[in-house]
Amino acid sequence: MKICPSCTKANEDTAAFCSGCGTNMTAVTDSLAHPAEQKTSGMAVASLIFGIFFFIFPAAVTAIVLGHISHSQIKKSAGRLAGAGVSLAGMILGYAGVAFIPFILIIAAIAIPNLLRARMAANEAAAVGNLRTAMTASMTYYGQYNSYPPSLEALGPPPAGQPASADAAGLIGAQLLEGVRSGYVITYEQTKGTGASGGGFDINADPFKPNNTGIRHFHADETGVIRVDSSGPADRDSPELE
């Protein structure tokens, strides 16, 4: 039997023209004698490539679509196209992606909030550490200059080549002067008329984005006690940090 290359209709071996579409069947005889080189379907290869990335939903769907199209083309090509196994592999990977993506989304829905909470906890721990550093430096400053610093900048490093002074005592690093540190804003205020020495200070660490970079607010003063509040900025009356 001769298979028409145009309409794939089966014809008698002696047929000169296709009974379905009239195509010259002599060329078919020649091609049987000298068969054309079989080529692998490009769509089948593309299906497999997209299938490899099955964990991405659009790629999984594309692998399925290209796999079905290429499989159909290969079946109708009368042996001119190869790659049926490749297209099948692409479809299998695509369907696997569609099946497993809901599980991936569920895992992500559980993991992402946990990661956010872990990040906020790390930010809060860093904020307490920075607050304690600034508080200790303020007390050291008092011992050196007989007054509490007028600002955080007074605790910072002096200009290059200059000695430490009341304006730049070199008691904290420049990082604490950046404004936002590990998702928290550190602010300092010198107070008058409070404390045994007749003065004091208030240092606050507040989330830069509440409920995003941190939940709790922290406060420290010349008493050396760190206090915490979850509803808003902490102050001298807030509960002590445990």
| Domain-located, residue 187 | yes
Query: In the structure encoding, which two tokens stand for residue 30, read together?
Result: 């020649």
Is position 217 within any domain? yes
CA distances, 149 to each of 133, 143, 177 (Å): 14, 11, 14
By residue range, what is the domain housing residue 171? 124-229
How far is residue 100's CA from residue 79's CA, in Å, rounded to a whole number? 35
Give the range among 12-16, 39-43, 146-150 with minimum mean pLDDT. Answer: 12-16
What are the backbone dihedrals phi and psi of residue 129, each rounded to the nearest 5 degrees, phi first?
A: -60, -45
Q: Does some domain include residue 65?
A: no
Q: Strands, E, within 21-154: which ranges?
A: 39-40, 81-82
Do the domain assignments include residue 88? no
Does the residue 66 lie in any domain?
A: no
Q: What is the predicted pLDDT for the residue at 182?
A: 86
- pLDDT recorded at residue 17: 81
Q: Tell me the pLDDT band of 15, cut-offs 50, 70 and 90.
A: confident
| Two tokens, residue 194 | 């409070």
Would you say 191 and 199 are in contact if contact means Cβ atoms under 8 Å apart? yes
The pLDDT tens digits of the residues spanning 84-137 come to 888 888 899 888 888 887 887 888 888 888 889 999 999 999 999 999 999 999
- Asked, for residue 196, whether it belongs to a domain, the answer is yes
> What pLDDT, on the 0 to 100 scale, is given for residue 33?
44
Q: Is the model's pLDDT at 83 over the cut of 80?
A: yes
User: What pLDDT does 135 receive?
Assistant: 95
The total number of structural domains in the chain stands at 2
Q: How confident is the model at residue 19 (pLDDT cuts 50, 70, 90)?
A: confident
Q: What is the pLDDT of residues 227-242, one digit of tens each?
A: 999 999 999 999 999 8
In a domain, 241, yes or no: no
Q: Dig out the tokens for 15 from the structure.
A: 């047929």
Confidence bin at 198 (pLDDT 50/70/90): low
What pLDDT score was predicted for residue 156?
Answer: 92
pTM of the full predicted structure? 0.58
Is 240 within the bounds of a domain?
Answer: no
- Inform me whether the pLDDT recorded for 179 exceeds 80: no
- Sheet of strand 217-221: strand arrangement: 180-181, 184-192, 199-207, 217-221, 226-229
25-47, pLDDT tens digit by residue?
775 554 444 455 678 888 888 88
Identity of the residue numbered 203: I
